């Protein structure tokens, strides 16, 4: 056999053996029985959080009760005038709420509204800057508890050049007998008098009692407002305005000018030593038969604590308990006011007559003592030299009166 044929036969043989050696395809081997797959139910619950359990198992009422906040605070209602509210009650009520579970609701409006609300039972506490009025049926069952002294201050616009008014000048202005600033040392302009419309307002009632001995005294005040806060705003807009308010309400204001009275500026010191004549008592008012007595009495007692007194002094109030002597000296104060008013009235009446009947031979006119006094009062009414001038004027007036009667 030719070599070529042998080679082809050998190649065919090898190819056939290779195909014969490759076994026929077999079915895939099944997974070994010894290691079966884990059942799918072996781990399903582990992937779910416990919250998957129905919430219905917990009663709805129990969680709500556990999450409820603290019980609501007991509430007391205070109503009264702005002078007492902002000066005496506001800060002290805030302090009291922090230390006790009692809320003090403030309703500042007017003296009468507060007193009548307490009398009717719609408020628990009232604020008043005046004494109990024995003529009002609504006030008979009310207890006026003194808490602090505050000054009654005349106020005007900062541009007004007048810095002082005497008691006599105030009295005449509010009677309508002096109506121009020029008559009290100011510019030639009308005195626009502002007043609170309510006749029983604490601040104005107290002033009228001091000047006229009658709290209900009718006055000349064409511009009337509901309360002192509105009055104050009116005066800030009027260069010729004049009104009355409390020291505690305006001591820090720059848009109002407080006038001194008879040369004495209002302050806690001048109230305490009695030199400032126009001060008033601020009262906390309760009802004698009050169903909330267990809440009212602790608050009233709180006003005597050091914290409450410090709050009063921050508002330029003099705590009543620290100046009880002022109440004891009340008759002396009233007598001094009366004496000054009468003395100034006598001087006003005597001055024109003294000038008209002055002796021509005298080197000093008889009217000079009164003229000197008028000048002193206008420039330095509280100075010692002014008091000396007052004595000399009185002596001159008495001498002239004696001469008129022939020395009798």
CATH of domain 75-328: 3.40.190.290
Q: Which residues of 34-64 are buried (b: 16+ CB within 10 A; e: fewer)?
A: eeeeeeeeeeeeeeeeeeeeeeeeeeeeeee
Distance from C-alpha of 22 to C-alpha of 345, rounded to nearest angstrom: 146
Structure tokens at 154: 């005349």
The percent of residues above 90 in pLDDT, for the chain, comes to: 56
Q: Quickly state the pLDDT bin for 324 (edges 50, 70, 90).
A: confident
Query: Residues 6 or more apart from 47 whose CB is under 8 A from it?
Result: none
Residue 40 reports pLDDT greater than 50: no
| Model confidence pLDDT, tens digit, residues 388-404 | 555 566 666 666 655 65
Least confident of 81-95, 139-153, 362-376: 362-376
Distance from C-alpha of 57 to C-alpha of 193, rounded to nearest angstrom: 76
- pLDDT of the residue at 120: 95
Q: Quickly state the pLDDT bin for 259 (edges 50, 70, 90).
A: very high
Q: Which residue has the higher pLDDT, 70 or 164?
A: 164
Cα–chain center distance at 288: 26
Q: Quickly state the pLDDT bin for 163 (edges 50, 70, 90).
A: very high
Structure tokens at 170: 């105030």
Distance from C-alpha of 109 to C-alpha of 77, rounded to nearest angstrom: 13
300-309, 361-370, 379-388, range with greatest mean pLDDT: 300-309
| Model confidence pLDDT, tens digit, residues 102-136 | 999 999 988 999 999 999 999 999 999 999 998 99
- pLDDT of the residue at 9: 45
Please answer whether residues 336 and 342 qualify as being in contact, where contact means their C-beta atoms are separated by less than 8 angstroms: no
Q: Quickly state the pLDDT bin for 189 (edges 50, 70, 90).
A: very high
Q: What average pLDDT does the segment 349-373 reach? A: 43
- pLDDT of the residue at 128: 95
Q: What average pLDDT does the segment 322-346 reach? A: 90
Q: Quickly state the pLDDT bin for 370 (edges 50, 70, 90).
A: low
Residue 270 reports pLDDT greater than 80: yes
Distance from C-alpha of 318 to C-alpha of 311, rounded to nearest angstrom: 10
Distance from C-alpha of 281 to C-alpha of 331, rounded to nearest angstrom: 15
Q: What average pLDDT does the segment 187-213 reach? A: 91
| Model confidence pLDDT, tens digit, residues 169-178 | 999 999 999 9
- pLDDT of the residue at 73: 73
Residue 192's nearest CA partner among 252, 250, 238, 139 is 238
Would you kindly state where each structural domain of the chain is located, as residue ranges? Answer: 75-328, 331-404
Q: Are strands 125-128 and 279-287 parallel, antiparallel or unpaired?
A: antiparallel
For residue 220, the SS3 value is coil
């Amino acid at each position: 056999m030719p070599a070529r044929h042998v080679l082809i036969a050998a190649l065919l043989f090898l190819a056939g053996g290779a195909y014969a050696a490759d076994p026929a395809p077999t079915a895939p081997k099944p997974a070994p029985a010894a290691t079966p797959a884990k059942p799918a139910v072996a781990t399903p619950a582990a992937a779910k959080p416990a919250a998957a359990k129905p919430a219905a198992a917990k009663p709805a009422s129990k969680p709500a009760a556990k999450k409820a906040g603290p019980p609501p605070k007991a509430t007391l209602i205070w109503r009264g005038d702005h002078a007492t509210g902002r000066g005496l009650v506001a800060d002290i009520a805030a302090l009291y709420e922090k230390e006790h579970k009692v809320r003090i609701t403030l309703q500042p409006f007017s003296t009468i509204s507060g007193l009548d609300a307490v009398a009717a039972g719609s408020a628990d506490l009232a604020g008043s800057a005046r004494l109990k009025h024995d003529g009002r049926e609504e006030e008979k069952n009310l207890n006026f508890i003194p808490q602090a002294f505050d000054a009654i201050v005349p106020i005007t616009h900062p541009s007004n050049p007048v810095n002082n008014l005497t008691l006599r000048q105030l009295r005449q202005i509010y009677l309508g007998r002096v109506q121009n600033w020029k008559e009290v040392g100011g510019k030639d302009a009308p005195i626009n008098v502002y007043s609170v419309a309510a006749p029983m307002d604490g601040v104005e009632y107290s002033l009228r009692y001091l000047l006229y001995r009658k709290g209900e005294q009718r006055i000349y005040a064409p511009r009337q407002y509901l309360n002192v806060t509105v009055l104050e705003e009116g005066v800030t807009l009027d260069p010729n305005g004049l009104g009355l308010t409390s020291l505690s309400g305006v001591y820090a204001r720059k848009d109002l000018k407080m006038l001194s009275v008879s040369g004495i500026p209002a302050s806690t010191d001048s109230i305490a030593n009695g030199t400032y004549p126009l001060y008033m008592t601020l009262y906390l008012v309760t009802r004698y038969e009050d169903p909330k007595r267990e809440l009212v009495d602790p608050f009233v007692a709180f006003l005597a604590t050091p914290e409450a007194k410090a709050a009063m002094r921050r508002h330029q109030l003099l705590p009543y308990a620290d100046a009880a002597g002022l109440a004891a000296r009340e008759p002396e104060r009233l007598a001094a006011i009366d004496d000054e008013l009468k003395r100034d009235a006598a001087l006003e009446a005597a001055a024109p007559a003294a000038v008209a009947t002055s002796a021509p031979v005298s080197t000093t006119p008889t009217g000079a003592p009164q003229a000197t006094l008028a000048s002193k009062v206008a420039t330095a009414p509280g100075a010692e030299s002014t008091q000396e001038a007052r004595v000399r004027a009185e002596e001159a007036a008495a001498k002239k009166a004696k001469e008129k009667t022939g020395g009798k």
